Structure 1
């Protein structure tokens, strides 16, 4: 049976990114199939993010062997169907200053486990996989296929070689890779079925500034450009070009990734947003996790040892940063895994999520204090079609409508996850799937 979703995961691992990828790889093959993991910078530098992906596959391989040696189902059945490609993407944002979240995720993105638990990290020879076609590891010995072309080009290749609406992109890091793909070949990028984004804070405070969520803040220009493709008229919400770098002639043409989109496009991009508004309500608590994982640690499950190592560091960090997080009640918000759960839950009606109607959500790219802010229009004002006239003037010229917020033909069209009936049980359900306890 064909999978319900063929998936590209764009990621910057990161603790919750790793949990999201593990959840995807532990899904039933009929639920989803991961075909590309495109890596970007974000929580840490792109090379460290790549190391974390390689380490994940190393641990999954050890876990499958451990389970087989004990006569247990090996799990991770999707990896027996296809070996996902892993491609390295953008090392920095399009125009914003590079910022990372290593203060939370640790210097290596996984709470420092590469130093504290070096026996859990694969040999450094993994670097050769992405450089040398004749690297020492045979193709048949890996659970993934390393790519030697940029991640955004791999995204375009998959979209180009398959029918429209074949792939869903789950974007759980800064949107730089997606923005690069959209700029290079907009029509090919629009062949994607849906882009599921973890990002933004719409009606709640941000987590990196008072108004901005990290992924959106990390490359606000990329987010704004991707979201503009949801608009009937993308130029109405495209961000202004950032200032030219020192020493560059301002009259020179902008780089290709900042060029305007074509005037007419064949379709609008479908974006489903998982903002902090919903992701921060889904927790994995220390107490329930420890109770669930203890038997596996006693039995020396490799995957449980690795995950527990970086979650222990993360729970400790949460306890030091936030009030109300103490003892067994310390929790990690499951931002990124929720995007994967959205796809899996479509096969389980009891967990189906509720989405909003299309909203005009725009990203601020140039504010002194508001970079990365998700802006919506809460005014009690009438909306008008482009052809309507008000007081003898076309709606496009209406005083007080700076930015075209009141025109139905302008603005973005983004669906947002607003209700999840499984939020109180998701953390435990996720772990049961990852560790084969269901």
Structure 2
């Protein structure tokens, strides 16, 4: 069977890094990772880029260490293909810039780039994401080649992420590439606005975001201003609610029915509306807090696993211990009522990768509903809205453009609403942490 081709759109971020490690540890017959598309989110986008470069730096060190110690190198999917790394959106489509560095640290990884600067790769990697100067000397050319060789596990791109995303979708057969989006959906919204039909060549979009029946988790810092918390929204949908609403609208037979309102007088340029007719509806699978929050990586299990032979002392174990230890403690400080012996990290983003790896497992279950993202509410920005009135949905009894009396927004007409499949069950809540640890760090002997 051909591998599942994926693009990962991400804002690393602690759990984003674990998600990428899980994906990159796949075998070539399981996943083909075409691209890592970066967006702002947990931290600013340039910090996200540094974290991705550092991730590859440690995979390189880890593979060398394993070979020296007589173990399989792992991360075999990188032998088959080097993913493109492209930088995308540095701010939301509307509203103020939000980040979650209060939880993930100022650098997205618990502050380890500052507390342990000697463990970060030399910043010569920045030249890979800049245009090559003209009339370079032989020494400069040699230096650039040396930098490329040092960071040979990925292919840097100078193009914005949404353009690379569209190019990949255009180059591959329709319905063969999955986009796994684990940050704000800004890059996806820009790509879809620029070329909707090319974007709809995607097999499906898998989103970590939202909270359907669960409470939200949006503790964010309004950049340079103040902290802001909301009880109903999840971080990714809150950070760019307009982008989320636009992507969700592509699951509607007529996307204009559920598109977010235009913000009049807003200084930022508005993305254009979608065409009246599109060739197909977007297939979107949502992994909201309802399903991601129960999937935990217990601190005690992580410590026991990464300090056991033959994993103890590996570069990847030591690096990940640094940022995960600070994250476990941050979790405790934010939840002081929690039992300190039961510290853990919710595996929000990695769960989407587990789906990409095991989508044929019968343990996965989904529920399809008309889910929409609120973009303009004072207290509800970023909230997922579902119709809980329990009345039957019409299968198109009225003309599409006619407003049904008492049905503002078209909630009771299946042709007017979104069609989002959200995950309600995985192959095993208690199983996942062990799967992740074994795949990323290797089996214990």
TM-based fold match above 0.5: yes
Counterpart pick for 1:228 among 249, 256, 260: 249
Deviations 1:260-282 (A, max 9, x none): 10111000000000000000010
Per the TM alignment, residue 27 of structure 1 is displaced from its structure 2 partner at its CA by 1.1
Q: Please state if 1:271 is matched with 2:281.
A: no
- SS at the partner of 1:295? coil
CA contact (8 A) 1:93 1:176 kept: yes
CA contact (8 A) 1:151 1:177 kept: yes
Q: Please state if 1:167 is matched with 2:167.
A: no
Counterpart pick for 2:370 among 357, 360, 365: 360
Indicate the residue corresponding to 2:223 in structure 1.
none
Deviations 1:294-320 (A, max 9, x none): 126984200001100000000000111
Per the TM alignment, residue 138 of structure 1 is displaced from its structure 2 partner at its CA by 5.3
After superposition, residues 37-52 of structure 1 pair within 5 angstroms as: 37-52=36-51
Per the TM alignment, residue 428 of structure 1 is displaced from its structure 2 partner at its CA by 2.1
CA contact (8 A) 2:307 2:313 kept: no
Q: Please state if 1:149 is matched with 2:159.
A: yes
Indicate the residue corresponding to 1:206 in structure 2.
216
Counterpart pick for 2:338 among 325, 332, 341: 325
Per the TM alignment, residue 151 of structure 1 is displaced from its structure 2 partner at its CA by 0.1
170-179 vs 425-434, which moves further: 425-434
Indicate the residue corresponding to 2:433 in structure 1.
427
Q: Distance in 1 between matches of 2:324 and 2:79?
A: 28
Q: Distance in 1 between matches of 2:312 and 2:213?
A: 45
Indicate the residue corresponding to 1:307 in structure 2.
320
Q: Distance in 1 between matches of 2:131 and 2:345?
A: 38
Deviations 1:216-273 (A, max 9, x none): 0000000000000000010110001123235xxxxxxx84x52110111000000000
80-89 vs 427-436, which moves further: 427-436
Q: Please state if 1:287 is matched with 2:300.
A: yes
For normalisation by structure 1, the TM-score amounts to 0.93
Q: Distance in 2 between matches of 1:190 and 1:230?
A: 10
Indicate the residue corresponding to 1:343 in structure 2.
356
Counterpart pick for 2:421 among 408, 412, 415: 415
Q: Distance in 1 between matches of 2:336 and 2:405?
A: 46
- SS at the partner of 1:54? helix
Q: Please state if 1:378 is matched with 2:391.
A: no
CA contact (8 A) 2:311 2:317 kept: no
Per the TM alignment, residue 132 of structure 1 is displaced from its structure 2 partner at its CA by 3.6
Deviations 1:46-68 (A, max 9, x none): 00000000000000000000011
CA contact (8 A) 2:311 2:442 kept: no
CA contact (8 A) 2:375 2:381 kept: yes
Contiguous gaps of at least 5 residues in structure 1: 247-253
Q: Distance in 2 between matches of 1:57 and 1:114?
A: 15
Indicate the residue corresponding to 2:116 in structure 1.
117
CA contact (8 A) 2:294 2:346 kept: yes
RMSD: 1.8
Q: Distance in 2 between matches of 1:107 and 1:239?
A: 31
Contiguous gaps of at least 5 residues in structure 2: 133-140, 219-229
CA contact (8 A) 1:384 1:395 kept: no
Per the TM alignment, residue 418 of structure 1 is displaced from its structure 2 partner at its CA by 0.2
Indicate the residue corresponding to 1:137 in structure 2.
146
Per the TM alignment, residue 433 of structure 1 is displaced from its structure 2 partner at its CA by 0.7
For normalisation by structure 2, the TM-score amounts to 0.91
Mark the CA change 1:66 to 1:242 in structure 2 (over 3 Å): closer, same or farther. Answer: same
- SS at the partner of 2:146? coil
